[in-house]
Amino acid sequence: MGHSAAVWDHRTAIEVTKDWNGIDQVVLRNPQGASARVSLHGGQVTSWRNEQGEELLFTSSKAIFKPPKAMRGGIPICFPQFGNCGSLEQHGFARNKLWTIDNNPPPLPPNDSHGKSFVDLLLKPSEEDLKGWPHSFEFRLRISLAADGVLTLISRIRNINGRPFSFSFAYHTYLSVSDISEVRIEGLETLDYLDNLCQRERFTEQGDAITFESEVDRVYLSSSHLIAVLDHEKKRTFVIRKEGLPDVVVWNPWDKKSKAMADFGDEEYKQMLCVDGAAIEKPITLKPGEEWTGRLELSVVPSSFCSEYLDH
């Protein structure tokens, strides 16, 4: 009827600009007006907005947007370790490195590209990195925004070493919430978790859904692939779908720790919650030539639709 469907070409939906430190950042847009922003510093998603332009990820008002540290917010990538053990820096070096745009990535299944606006990034170790962690790898990160606003991160890590290596990993996702006391997580009930506030001692979750009234810093083990974060005040639910990432980190610093962090406002713990798809308890081991894939999909649905959504 003279009305043809628009063909969405992802190349036209990408914009590369410089941030105020001169570092490239990529903005993805979908035809409905949702957007995501990715910095080449750390390959870190620094913004994800819905069609109404509302920001869905938390960024601290005190965040420092200046290398060499990751800025406090968005989705920093923790690799090759989560946490702080051995000589490597806390949460690994990937979030503190300059990534490049990968113009010729090995193909992904067509569904990961079709109808999506996306960018492919690449991280390879520098001579300096190899001194601290002597394993050659290629880390490819695809970040995509779909027509329905869903944000997907696909990490592919390949061993190009002569020897096996092991790593742990997390998408350290800072969700923006209206008020932490109004938030609950579903999908982690009855699971075992390691408590970072008790030297990673192992406990079993007893209650129903998880709610918040003090500092929480836990690694829930072997969860299902679907987690929901319900924000009562906003009547919306973040749905986190993950593959290759058995564990889930849940972190809120609460009041005391907030005050101790230079790049975090004293009261900001009320507006954020980190819920990370992760692989921590059992490190991933790659033999020479092997590749691992870890996939995270974030969407937001009205809370009334949530149970129905989770059932599917």
Determine if 196 is a binding residue for ligand BG6 (CB under 6 A). Answer: yes
Q: 3-state secondary structure string, the chain?
A: CCCCCCCCCHHHHEEEEECCCCCEEEEEECCCCCEEEEECECCEEEEEECCCCCECECECCCCCCCCCCCCCECECEECCCCCCCCCCCCCCCHHHCECEECCCCCCCCHHHCCCEEEEEEEECCCHHHHHHCCCCEEEEEEEEEECCCCEEEEEEEEECCCCCEEEEEEECCEEECCCHHHEEEECCCCCEEEEHHHCCEEEECCCCCECCCCCEEEEECCCCCEEEEEECCCCEEEEEEEECCCEEEEEECHHHHHHHCCCCCCCHHHHEEEEEEEEEEEEEEECCCCEEEEEEEEEEEEHHHHHHHHHC
Residues in 126-185 at the binding interface with ligand BG6, rule: CB under 6 A: 172
Site for ligand BG6, residues 201 to 220, rule: CB under 6 A = 217
Q: Report how many residues bind ligand BG6 under the rule CB under 6 A.
A: 8
Residues 25-84 touching ligand BG6, rule: CB under 6 A, are: none
Residues 274-303 that bind ligand BG6 (CB under 6 A): 274
How far apart CA 286 and CA 289 sit, in angstroms, is 8
295 is in an annotated binding site: no
Measured from each CB, the residue nearest to ligand BG6 is 251
CB of residue 249 vs ligand BG6: minimum separation in angstroms?
5
Residue closer to ligand BG6 (CB basis): 63 or 146: 63
Q: Is the CB of 90 or the CB of 211 nearer to ligand BG6?
A: 90
90 contributes a contact to ligand BG6 by CB under 6 A: yes
Binding mask 226-265 for ligand BG6 (x = CB under 6 A): -----------------------x-x--------------
To ligand BG6, the closest distance from the beta carbon of 157 in angstroms equals: 20
Q: How far is it, in rounded angstroms, from Cα 253 to Cα 10?
A: 38
Nearer to ligand BG6, 159 or 252 (CB): 252
CA 153 – CA 240 distance, rounded (Å): 11
Quote the least distance from Cβ 237 to ligand BG6, whole Å: 22
Q: Is 90 annotated as a binding residue?
A: yes
Q: How far is the CB of 151 from ligand BG6 (least distance, A)?
A: 20
Residue with tokens 């962090």: 261
CB of 277 to ligand BG6, least distance (A): 12
Q: Is 272 in the site for ligand BG6 (CB under 6 A)?
A: no
Residue 33: both structure tokens together: 């007006």
Q: Which is nearer to ligand BG6, 274 or 296 (CB)?
A: 274
What minimum distance in Å lies between the beta carbon of 77 and ligand BG6? Answer: 11
Q: Which residues of the shown chain bind ligand BG6 in the complex (CB under 6 A)?
A: 90-91, 172, 196, 217, 249, 251, 274
Show binding-site residues.
72, 90, 95
Show binding-site residues for substrate.
72, 90, 95
